Chains A and B, each alone.
Chain A
């Protein structure tokens, strides 16, 4: 085992190249709904069991199913009201189980990026050939369902092998959401191709804040606003990224959606915010900043 992921170089916040966004925006703001399918009776992966209890585990299964039946529509309406397009972290089996949801995403010009096949199929213990086959399945399925070339990746249920990032670069994936070390995009070290991380925040993730940390809906709104305020302030010096990762089964609950809509109202009400998608952030970064940042990191490595 490695003691360090060896995926990126050290780059201190106080001494790094300046990042700019279109129209002088201070913060690139994107919302990433996880549209997921959890299986009722999935096979066992040696690295992780899918459900805590013997199958069927009706409570967590049905709680997640709520997201597709009821929560998605509420979340989508709130986002559409504030002209926020989603960048969807997609379990691509949704394209088969619930194509009606994909149709809505396509109509709203949302981005679809990869979150694996099912959220109950983990990458742990996959051979390189198996992981490559899974990635090809994802890329082909999203292309068929939307016409989109997949640009982004969030590993299914955040499960990996040590080959994952190398394979992403090989497949031409533009950005990964799997690294949480920064509030700006960063180059990821791969042997072939090129790859960057785009900030997808676990700290802002509704599952982490509401379920794991157990905060209330109104407290979550305060957290999101405070995070935005700080990045907006810092963004005057050096452009920042704020992502809100969502799960419709949580944020689409009746007692949460109104508070979340208020957060969107607050953030999109600021002048210097670029309301965008993961794909657009990555594209802008490659075009304007990637080479410069890479040169800076290389120079620091040599010093």
Chain B
């Protein structure tokens, strides 16, 4: 086998803090307590993810939920599409019934195909978050910078035009970034990212276009991750959501406001046999005093007002 260069035993970034400049090293429990509006203890941030998986998609990196069978893969195409036709309306009905809001992270190509989805979001006064172009266009570390910049700008132009909203949040498809993504997003007016999974609270994030924030989106509580990738039962999914809430709610008594993010993929949780499980978990959480149903932008504004 090849000899290993002695450079492999050199560690140029081995010093205090992080090995990059995006954010300073900081432990959650050492930061000042955060207060939410009306003294709420937990900001419940539901994110509904609306995505289009084109049947001819050829993503540069593996995408969970992608076409997986020989072309034409009607199996996977139509099952993903189920979420945008059926599942999403089951989820919205549950949220409406419980008086909960959602940020809706949407692929711009899907919004262009079905502006009706954007109308549904706007009617409720909910937030549109940019979720890239479609699930075949994945940002990655070897992507050309100009190509990425043009794509991000195109996505934001399209979603802003269709929704009439400022579109302040960015969630990369499968949370995949290049080294340039935060800079490009910030240069296009994005105020918060959802891709980084390293905290339970918003935190400041440095870019070439100034300081933006990362909000604590979730993979651990993502329905696709839990129910499809890890194959947990619906009861285990409900237990996980309740356990997460119980811990954050208890912590908030001493350590200030917390954020609980729940990420929903309508083709997963919007299935007929799963929707009651989601309702059970959301009823449990929203049945507590001091739960603030909020969009990402509202959480960001409340956080920045006291930072």
Binding site for B on A (CB under 8 A): 37, 39-41, 43, 45-47, 53-59, 62-63, 65-66, 68-70, 72-74, 93, 96-100, 117-118, 121, 125-127, 130, 133-134, 137, 214, 216-219, 253-259
Inter-chain contact A53/B2, CB cutoff 8 Å? no
Q: Can you show 23 pairs from A to B with CB atoms below 8 A apart? A: A40-B20, A47-B1, A53-B61, A53-B140, A53-B176, A56-B178, A58-B195, A59-B219, A69-B27, A69-B28, A73-B28, A97-B14, A121-B11, A125-B1, A125-B2, A133-B9, A134-B9, A217-B243, A218-B239, A255-B243, A255-B247, A257-B247, A259-B243
Inter-chain contact A58/B27, CB cutoff 8 Å? no
| B175 interface hit (Cβ, 8 Å) | yes
| B29 interface hit (Cβ, 8 Å) | yes
> In whole Å, how far is B152's beta carbon from the nearest beta carbon of chain A?
15
Inter-chain contact B17/A97, CB cutoff 8 Å? yes
Q: Which of A66, A117, A133, A214 contacts B199 (CB 8 A)?
A: A66
- With a cutoff of 8 Å between Cβ atoms, the chain B residues found around residue A256 in the complex are 243
Nearest-CB residue, chain A, relative to B240: A255
- With a cutoff of 8 Å between Cβ atoms, the chain A residues found around residue B219 in the complex are 59, 63
Complex-state Cα separation, A218 to B238, whole angstroms: 12
Q: Mark B245-257, 1 if CB is under 8 A from A, else 0.
A: 0111001000000
- With a cutoff of 8 Å between Cβ atoms, the chain B residues found around residue A97 in the complex are 14-19, 25
Choose among A100, A126, A127, A253 the residue with the greatest number of B CB atoms under 10 Å from its CB: A253
- A53-B141, A66-B197 are known contacts. Are A253 and B8 too (CB-CB below 8 A)? no
- With a cutoff of 8 Å between Cβ atoms, the chain A residues found around residue B241 in the complex are 255
Q: Which of B20, B220, B236 contacts A219 (CB 8 A)?
A: B236
- A58-B175, A255-B221 are known contacts. Are A214 and B232 too (CB-CB below 8 A)? yes
- With a cutoff of 8 Å between Cβ atoms, the chain A residues found around residue B175 in the complex are 58-59
Inter-chain contact B19/A65, CB cutoff 8 Å? no
Inter-chain contact A254/B200, CB cutoff 8 Å? yes
| B26 interface hit (Cβ, 8 Å) | yes
Inter-chain contact A217/B195, CB cutoff 8 Å? no
| B38 interface hit (Cβ, 8 Å) | no
Main secondary structure of the interface of B (DSSP, over half): loop
Complex-state Cα separation, A96 to B15, whole angstroms: 5
Inter-chain contact B244/A254, CB cutoff 8 Å? yes
Complex-state Cα separation, A74 to B13, whole angstroms: 27
- With a cutoff of 8 Å between Cβ atoms, the chain B residues found around residue A55 in the complex are 141, 179
Inter-chain contact A93/B11, CB cutoff 8 Å? yes
Choose among B4, B141, B236, B239 the residue with the greatest number of A CB atoms under 10 Å from its CB: B4
> In whole Å, how far is A150's beta carbon from the nearest beta carbon of chain B?
18
Nearest-CB residue, chain B, relative to A211: B230
Inter-chain contact B240/A217, CB cutoff 8 Å? yes
Complex-state Cα separation, A73 to B16, whole angstroms: 19
- With a cutoff of 8 Å between Cβ atoms, the chain B residues found around residue A254 in the complex are 200, 243-244, 247-248, 251, 260
- A58-B177, A216-B240 are known contacts. Are A130 and B19 too (CB-CB below 8 A)? no
| B3 interface hit (Cβ, 8 Å) | yes
- With a cutoff of 8 Å between Cβ atoms, the chain B residues found around residue A257 in the complex are 247
Complex-state Cα separation, A56 to B141, whole angstroms: 6
> In whole Å, how far is B143's beta carbon from the nearest beta carbon of chain A?
8
- A214-B232, A219-B236, A255-B220 are known contacts. Are A69 and B199 too (CB-CB below 8 A)? yes
Q: Mark B184-196, 1 if CB is under 8 A from A, else 0.
A: 0000000000011
- With a cutoff of 8 Å between Cβ atoms, the chain A residues found around residue B289 in the complex are none
Nearest-CB residue, chain A, relative to B230: A214
| B147 interface hit (Cβ, 8 Å) | no
Complex-state Cα separation, A87 to B179, whole angstroms: 36
Choose among A55, A69, A126 the residue with the greatest number of B CB atoms under 10 Å from its CB: A69
Inter-chain contact A54/B140, CB cutoff 8 Å? yes
- With a cutoff of 8 Å between Cβ atoms, the chain A residues found around residue B18 in the complex are 40, 65, 97
- CB proximity to A under 8 Å, residues B157-171: none
- With a cutoff of 8 Å between Cβ atoms, the chain A residues found around residue B14 in the complex are 93, 96-97, 117
Inter-chain contact B244/A255, CB cutoff 8 Å? yes
